[in-house]
Amino acid sequence: MAKKIDNRERLIFAMDVPDCNQAKQLVETLDDSVVFFKLGLELMMTDGYFDLMDWMLKRNKKIFADLKFFDIPATVGAAVNRLQNRGASFVTVHGNQAIMEAAAKNKGKHLKVLAVTALTSLDRGDLDDMGFACDVGDLVLSRAKRALEAGCDGVVSSGLEVPQLRKNIDSQLLVVTPGIRPVDNKESEDQKRVVTVKKAFKNGADYIVVGRPIRDAGNPRNAAEEIQSSISECF
Catalytic residues: 68
Distance CA 122, CA 113 (A): 22
The phi and psi torsions of 195 (rounded to 5 degrees) equal -140, 165
**5-43 core/surface letters (b: 16 or more CB in 10 A; e: else):** eeeeebbbbbbbbeebeebbebbeebeebbbbbbbbeeb
Distance CA 20, CA 51 (A): 9
Residue type, 13: F
Q: How far is CA 138 from CA 51, 70, 93, 135, 171, in A?
A: 40, 22, 19, 5, 18
Q: If you count them, how many residues does the chain have? A: 235
Distance CA 4, CA 76 (A): 30
If one counts every other C-beta atom within 10 angstroms of the C-beta of residue 146, the result is 17
Residue type, 153: D
Report the DSSP beta bridge partners of residue 176: 156, 207
- Cβ atoms 200, 208 nearer than 8 A: yes
